[in-house]
A and B are shown apart, each in its own frame.
Chain A
């Protein structure tokens, strides 16, 4: 995702004429990534509360 952001900014920088659209897209991208991280960490907390561990090798409740 950071690589994509760098690409956006770089292409906006080296475009002729330079434009600002890449910057705004990067703003949105960073905000969306921050929200993804928030939800992921909340899921980790819930998994820890339910199982007492976050070791993926022990999260095998769904095993039949």
Chain B
């Protein structure tokens, strides 16, 4: 049963990732990306990491994909035009074919070489408290650095977008 779920989820991830890359409209690409990320969250749940899956859904699907959608709408509403993409030529198709063949070869080699009997040790149920304790003790410095990085990113993004708007408004008033 987990094998079927694993196969279905990995199929969902791969197919929606290809769709996200090949979609003709940007919005459909973003939706495909969202499905791919949800599939990855399902893989996390299969691996017994529910909190990682929660984090994945809330950050990636809840924040990043929504941000991408907002940017697409903002950009497209002002331009009023869909980006027309060129048909992938023969080189692109050959690249996709080669990538698929390489992936098949790697998967076959792994299946042949590795004995499939993955004797999974019983995974103890992890509480959020334990995770948080580990995060606050062993990874405290990394957590602080991550917080600084978040702050720097927010300030940097705001200045990137804000300076331009100020120049535009002063240019309009002058």
Contact = CB atoms under 8 A, between A and B. Distances in A.
Contacts, number: 116
B118 to A, nearest CB: 6
Nearest to B126: A20
B64 to A, nearest CB: 5
Interface residues of B, number: 49
A7 to B, nearest CB: 11
A11 to B, nearest CB: 10
Contacts of B160: 39, 42-43, 45-46
B161 interface: yes
Main secondary structure of the interface of B (DSSP, over half): helix
A10 B49 CA distance: 9
Interface of B: 13, 36-37, 40, 43-44, 47-49, 51-52, 55-56, 59-60, 63-64, 67-68, 71, 74-75, 78-79, 83, 118, 120-121, 123-124, 126, 130-131, 134-135, 138-139, 142, 146, 149-150, 153-154, 156-157, 160-161, 164, 168
B52 A18 contact: no
A45 B165 CA distance: 11
Given A35-B150, A41-B67, A55-B83, A17 B75 contact: no
